[in-house]
Amino acid sequence: LVEPVVDRPRMTVIGTGYLGATHAVCMAALGFEVLGVDVDARKIEALAAGRVPFFEPGLEDLLRETLATGRLRFTQDFAQAAAFGDVHFVCVGTPQTKGSQAADLTYVHAAVDALARHLTRKSLVVGKSTVPIGTAAALTQRLQAAAPAGAAVELAWNPEFLREGYAVADTLTPDRLVFGVTSAWASAQLRAAFAPVLDKGTPLVECDLPTAELVKVAANSFLATKISYINAMAEVCEATGADVNLLARALSYDARIGGRFLKPGLGFGGGCLPKDIRAFAARADELGVGQAVAFLHEVDAINNRRRRRTVDLVRELAGGALQGVRVAALGAAFKPNSDDVRDAPALDVARMLHEEGAVVRVYDPQAMGNARRAYPELAYVDSLPAAVHLADVVVLLTEWDQFRHADPEMMGWLVAQRKVVDGRHALDADAYRAAGWDYRALGRPLMS
């Protein structure tokens, strides 16, 4: 018996955080009818009222446009979701488990259980969250056990590669789509769900469930490794007087290496890379192949050493001790164009400086609310001039344009001492030195 494939499947998106809200809005923008589902009442109310509860360029405008078409709605009601959707995208969080390196699947299980019991007809549940390999197979059983008899529900995996800060463009025009499927019906259903994206010529890789799960963690591991590779070279540079910026540039002209993600500095953070490489290593251990990815522990360690080294540079510039030193910490988000402070290197450095007795003032153009909630012990100010006012040392931690383009001469008038640590290789070293600043950066000798 050939199962019918719905031409234009109606979709639900379960979990409307950074990933889910973006996916729901973009799918509605592509012409589908979409229902966003979350257990967080405040998030649902905000989205339904046209407000994105986090910072993502372009998303709020698109949310308002799609709400106005009537194609996009939001609910907390799983029964409504089950009745509405042909395809259900699961986009809930998979954070690191407290006290362990492994991923916490509590939210995925809760979302699938809550949906499954209401499913009454053939439907496809599609995992988008980043999960350990083997999760999809286990979830298939869970789903089928929880769904009422006759619901004939199937599971597929469609890992997500969007980048915060570019989430809308990455969703509408992704580099590739990956469909982990176990039947021709699921494949056809997903092809229908992504037809407008596939029609643009987006490459599609169709595969089994474990490969689909693995693509995501393998990609993130590669990116994390590339960053830690150049940061490991920065450590070597620091011991030899070589300049990691020039090294990275010279390496980047080799097309086999390439320059993207080869940027030395304070390293990676956020809600994905750190927890994904840890969860991958933990899962590989469980599978008996821990040695194959043992290098990921080193990747993580190199990354964390950069944070400590940044604190060392600030201390050195301050004359050897941090007690009472006024530090302007520029940036809190884990990267520019985001308000996400999950595992943010910037806030980790600010916290370490604070713990050593420095008087730290943090400013970030978008992440102040999240930063205050994450580290209430730090002092926050609401502008760049307020942060640098009478500072003994300025430390750039997140490379927002506003900081990159700040005039070193004007900043110089505000600070107590013209001393700057560039944690992101984002400032014009020559311009700062010309304006009389003592400029330091990770992996660079004093005068390059």
Q: Is 263 annotated as a binding residue?
A: yes
Q: Is 275 annotated as a binding residue?
A: yes
Position 105 contacts ligand NAD (CB under 6 A): no
Ramachandran quadrant class, 265 (left: phi over 0; alpha: psi -120 to 50; beta: rest) = left
Q: Is 120 annotated as a binding residue?
A: no
Question: What's the rounded Cα separation, in Å, for the pair 102 and 97?
Answer: 6
The CB-of-425 to ligand NAD minimum distance in angstroms stands at 23
Note whether 391 and 361 are within 8 A (CB). Answer: yes
Where would I find the H helices in 253-343? 273-286, 295-317
- Nearest-Å Rg of the Cα atoms of the chain is 24
Residues 29-58 that bind ligand NAD (CB under 6 A): 37-40, 43
Ramachandran quadrant class, 319 (left: phi over 0; alpha: psi -120 to 50; beta: rest) = left
Note whether 364 and 393 are within 8 A (CB). Answer: no
- Of 24, 8, 93, whose CA–CA distance to 56 is shortest? 24
Binds ligand NAD (CB under 6 A): choice among 129, 189, 221, 228: 129
Residues 136-195 that bind ligand NAD (CB under 6 A): 160, 162, 164
Binds ligand NAD (CB under 6 A): choice among 13, 67, 91, 421: 91
| 103 strand-pairing partners | 96
**Residue showing the smallest CB distance to ligand NAD in the complex:** 17
The CB-of-113 to ligand NAD minimum distance in angstroms stands at 8
Residue whose CB is less far from ligand NAD, 54 or 363: 54
- Of 43, 135, 57, 131, whose CA–CA distance to 94 is shortest? 131
Residue whose CB is less far from ligand NAD, 130 or 417: 130
Q: What does the CA dihedral 284, 288, 290, 292 come to, rounded to 10 degrees?
A: -100
Q: Is 63 annotated as a binding residue?
A: no
Q: Is 128 annotated as a binding residue?
A: no
Residue whose CB is less far from ligand NAD, 189 or 337: 337
The CB-of-276 to ligand NAD minimum distance in angstroms stands at 6
Q: What does the CA dihedral 411, 413, 414, 418 come to, rounded to 10 degrees?
A: 70
Residue 218: alpha-carbon gap to chain centroid? 15
The CB-of-376 to ligand NAD minimum distance in angstroms stands at 20
Q: Is 38 annotated as a binding residue?
A: yes
Q: Is 216 annotated as a binding residue?
A: yes
Per the structure block, which two tokens stand in for 320?
């050897």
Site string for ligand NAD, 197-216 (x = CB under 6 A): --------------------
Position 111 contacts ligand NAD (CB under 6 A): yes
Q: Is 262 annotated as a binding residue?
A: yes
Residues 245-284 that bind ligand NAD (CB under 6 A): 271-272
Residue whose CB is less far from ligand NAD, 33 or 38: 38
Q: Is 122 annotated as a binding residue?
A: no
Active site residue 272: yes
The CB-of-359 to ligand NAD minimum distance in angstroms stands at 32
Residues 379-408 that bind ligand NAD (CB under 6 A): none
| 87 strand-pairing partners | 11, 124
Position 20 contacts ligand NAD (CB under 6 A): yes
Residue 3: alpha-carbon gap to chain centroid? 37
Residue whose CB is less far from ligand NAD, 37 or 344: 37
How many residues sit in the footprint of ligand NAD (CB under 6 A)? Answer: 27
Position 352 contacts ligand NAD (CB under 6 A): no
User: Which member of 26, 91, 237, 272 is catalytic?
Assistant: 272
φ, ψ for residue 149 (rounded to 5)? -55, 135
Position 88 contacts ligand NAD (CB under 6 A): no
Exposure on the CB side of residue 112, measured as CA atoms within 13 A: 27
Cβ neighbour number for residue 40 with a 10 Å cutoff: 14
CA distances to 72, 184, 299 from 12, rounded to whole Å, are: 10, 21, 37
Note whether 37 and 11 are within 8 A (CB). Answer: no
Position 18 contacts ligand NAD (CB under 6 A): yes
Question: What's the rounded Cα separation, in Å, for the pair 74 and 38?
Answer: 8
Binds ligand NAD (CB under 6 A): choice among 65, 71, 107, 389: 107
φ, ψ for residue 446 (rounded to 5)? -55, -40
Binding site for substrate, by residue number, is: 161-164, 216, 261-265, 269, 335
The site for ligand NAD (CB under 6 A) is made up of: 14-20, 37-40, 43, 91-94, 107, 110-111, 114, 129-130, 160, 162, 164, 271-272
Binding site for NAD(+), by residue number, is: 38, 43, 94, 130, 164, 275, 342
Question: Could you give the residue numbers annotated as active site?
Answer: 272
